[in-house]
Amino acid sequence: MKIYYDADADLNLLKEKKLTVIGYGSQGHAHALNLKDSGLDVAVGLRKTSARWKEAEEAGLKVFTVEEASEWGDVIMILLPDQNHKEVYENEIKPHLKTGKALAFAHGFNIFYKQVIPPNDVDVIMIAPKGPGHLVRRTFQNGSGTPCLIAIHQDYTGKAKDIALAWAKGIGGTRAGVIETTFKDETETDLFGEQAVLCGGSAELVKAGFETLVEAGYPPELAYFECMHELKLIVDLYYEGGLTRMNYSVSDTAEYGGMTRGPKVINADTKKVMKQILEDIQTGKFAEEWINENKNGQPVLKKLREENKNHLIEKVGAQLRSMMSWLTNK
Ligand code: NDP
Ligand code: MG
């Protein structure tokens, strides 16, 4: 697989353009500040009521309304929560998408599932950092950079890929390495990962382990430490050196017990369910469900959020974390 680095990207391509970042949240602040620090002309688009307006101005950025910023910019990167793209795009961005401009995203959902349908005479690109915005900012500042994916949905000007690479360079991505993908693959693998493994799978694994110990009469505090707290130590080892590093670092007892018992927990049936989850993503069934959930005011999300909040592991966890002086967001 080809990996693009600094030498493959030309920042000059963006020096003659005005760059708009819509939104100043996790990704928005990182893209805007990194591009500015790369010597580029950047403006942030926000609602008038935004609490972040002042913060962006104090950081030395130009701040306009979403409409003004869309009118002003040649490359317009939408960094709002995905469920708000469609409405904001239709009402405030689309009217200002003149021929030859570029529309950019950091995730493929709205283009791939046709929630945003741009006109034919603009470039449509993706630059998706593989990390939260605060990491994108921090690694830029320390000189290392966060790896990014880029993708081209529409190449009207013939320069779409060069623009995407230049943007990736401006935010520090090409220092770490940039991989080209498609809106389809990025969207489908992202949804699958968060549902089956990262958010869904891991949370249910933790809860099931915790419940098993508590139901067997063990103190919830011990169950919390074993099933949630220590997970971070294990994940850090995966992150640094994969399964081998994890197995090398834990005791032989943990390694043997894990390798012989793990496959009983996650087995052929689990994989069958994972395949079904992937199929619902590929057919668009999940996207349709999520779009309707948002239209209805997120009733299921709100109910499940409340249920999770009231789980014993959350109550015990909050208490135990208050003992951990080094944690800031308890
Ligand atoms: P955030 O939730 O952090 O974005 C919040 C920003 O959006 C705020 O500035 C908020 O303004 C603004 N906003 C929300 N609704 C509106 C609206 N209707 N009109 C104007 N401004 C609005 O988003 P993220 O940074 O998490 O995500 C942005 C994109 O990046 C998404 O496409 C996401 O999939 C993608 N992405 C996110 C990653 C992450 O780790 N977070 C990683 C990689 C990609 P206000 O101050 O007014 O509320
Ligand atoms: Mg993801």
Q: How far apart are CA 5 and CA 177, in angstroms?
A: 5
Nearest CA owner, ligand 1 atom 19: 47
Q: Ligand 2 (ion): which residues have CB within 5 A? A: 190
Tens of pLDDT along 163-217? 999 999 999 999 999 999 999 999 999 999 999 999 999 999 999 999 999 999 9
Residues of the chain with pLDDT under 70: 330
Q: How far apart are CA 277 and CA 316, in angstroms?
A: 31
Long-range contacts made by residues 194-198, C-beta under 8 angstroms, separation at least 24? 195/277, 195/281, 195/286, 196/274, 196/277, 196/278
Beta bridge partners of 45: 22, 64
The string of DSSP codes covering 106-136 is: SSSHHHHTTSS---TTSEEEEEEESS-HHHH
SS3 185: helix
The pLDDT assigned to 330 comes to: 66
SS3 54: helix
CB 123 within 8 A of CB 103: yes
The pLDDT assigned to 15 comes to: 97
Q: How remote is the CA of residue 38 from the centroid of ligand 2, in Å?
A: 26
Which residues carry out catalysis?
A: 107
**Cβ of 132 below 6 Å from ligand 1:** yes
Q: How remote is the CA of residue 46 from the centroid of ligand 1, in Å?
A: 11
CB 22 within 8 A of CB 73: no
From the CA of 106, which ligand is nearest?
Answer: 1
**Cβ of 80 below 6 Å from ligand 1:** yes
First to last CA, the chain: 41
Beta bridge partners of 319: none
67 vs 44, 49, 254, 302, CA distance in Å?
11, 14, 57, 31
Two structure tokens written together for 259? 């390798």
Q: At 305, which helix (H) or strand (E)?
A: helix 299-309
Tens of pLDDT along 278-287? 999 999 999 9
Q: How remote is the CA of residue 194 from the centroid of ligand 2, in Å?
A: 6
* Count of all residues that appear for the chain in the document: 330
Specify the pTM: 0.93
**Cβ of 26 below 6 Å from ligand 1:** yes
